[in-house]
Amino acid sequence: LTLRDDAPFTRHDVVTYLEEKMIGTRLIFAGNITRQPAFKKVNYRVHGDLVNTDKIMNDSFWIGVWPGIDLDRREYMVQTFSRMVKEIAK
């Protein structure tokens, strides 16, 4: 998932809220890899401003999915997302 630029909350807000409600999340290891410490001494070429890769790196995350997510768990996730938007978007 990627948050919109005008979202009334940050990725940190969302991930923290979901994790507190036992909904697993993971940050995406993607985006602007040139900003990773391992690339400090690597010789590479950049084409463009990488604004989209920065967006993914800063505002995207995964929610947990696995084959055992049944209807009850999916409904819990949907209800939790709905409550989260109402609670932290104030």
Q: Which positions ≥6 away from 2 have C-beta within 8 Å?
A: 55, 56, 59, 60
Q: Would you state the pLDDT for residue 63? A: 93
Summarised one tens digit per residue, pLDDT across range 8-34 is 999 999 999 999 999 999 998 778 888
18: number of Cβ within 10 Å: 19
Enter the pTM of the model.
Answer: 0.82
C-alpha 22/C-alpha 80 separation (Å) is 10
Report yes or no: 1 and 63 within 8 Å, Cβ to Cβ: yes
CA distances from 11 to 1, 8, 18, 36, 69 (A): 10, 10, 11, 19, 23
Looking at the chain, the whole-number percentage of residues with pLDDT higher than 90 is: 72
